Amino acid sequence: MSVHPELNAQKKTVTRPMRTRFAPSPTGELHLGHAYSALTAWKAAGQSSELFCLRIDDLDHTRCRPAYTKQIKDDLSWLGLQWAETPLVQSKRLQRYAEALEKLKTDKLLYPCYLTRREVNSLLSAPHDGSEQAPAPYTRGLLSQEEQHQREINGHMAAWRLDCKAALARTGTLIWQDYAGTSHQVGIEQMPADRGDVVLGRRDIAASYHLSVVLDDADSQVELVVRGADLETSTPLHRLLQELLGLPTPVYLHHPLVCDKNGKRLSKRDHDTSLTALRAAGFSPADVIAMMPDFIV
């Protein structure tokens, strides 16, 4: 394991402990990168079990396994982390997500999308002028009313997409802060990383990653969202959803991702950096922490 030098260059003085969370998906073993994320959140919470929440993000029912949930808890306990109350489990909160989705439908900010995944993919891979932004999925109006109706009759389920531009037109420019105190904003003129009209209600369940995390963070009174830099481009959308649903806005901390010696980010397939493998090889928690980049909180 080696670490990019810039990871070690971003040390920051700790401010007051904040209520935060670690929200893994039980789709595999935790690796060093997850442990780094969990420990960053734990430190930001002042190492207080009352301020550190564990959440199980198990909406991806095709890949999540209860055995991994147990392993996650074992690994975190082994690292010395303790969490506040019974962990919130996303698959038990579908009603909550469905209600929020209904509210956004009533507010006329969602529209049904009957396109198949393959149709959306071919839309996205359609040739475009290289100088322009790659196409993003704005699918409203791509199918005629008759075609939508036909698909509905044939038993096709719709995904529900947020009309992002209509939503931003309604909310106006929104701001939020990161842990270092820097302000960020999103507005109709500054929609960073255009992702089109994102799906908030999947075809199979009336929920999605984006919808569930903003509701969960709010319902758990999370003040500081700690997560990897790979999720930073989702934050403007999360801020927008908070505004539409009348939820408070947490502070955000996106930490650098832990990479292997070739600079490739760790994945659940890299078994040799899994906590289970490191434990089995006889490493102690202190050894594992010593393999990580310096902490930025």
Chain residues in the site for ligand GLU (CB under 6 A): 23-25, 57, 213, 227, 231
User: Between residues 228 and 285, which has the closer beta carbon with respect to ligand GLU?
Assistant: 228
161 contact partners, CB below 8 Å, separation of at least 6 = 110, 111, 112, 113, 137, 139, 140, 196, 197, 198, 199, 200
Q: How far is the CB of 20 from ligand GLU (least distance, A)?
A: 10
Q: How far is the CB of 49 from ligand GLU (least distance, A)?
A: 19
162: which strand partners? 110
Q: How far is the CB of 141 from ligand GLU (least distance, A)?
A: 31
**What are the tokens at 30?**
């935790």
* Radius of gyration in angstroms for the set of CA atoms belonging to the chain, rounded to a whole number: 20
54: which strand partners? 22
User: Between residues 123 and 231, which has the closer beta carbon with respect to ligand GLU?
Assistant: 231
**What are the tokens at 239?**
């801020």
User: Between residues 30 and 113, which has the closer beta carbon with respect to ligand GLU?
Assistant: 30
User: Between residues 24 and 236, which has the closer beta carbon with respect to ligand GLU?
Assistant: 24
Q: How far is the CB of 223 from ligand GLU (least distance, A)?
A: 14
Contact 171, 240 (CB under 8 A): yes
- Residue 43 belongs to what H/E stretch? helix 32-44
User: Between residues 60 and 163, which has the closer beta carbon with respect to ligand GLU?
Assistant: 60
Q: How far is the CB of 155 from ligand GLU (least distance, A)?
A: 31
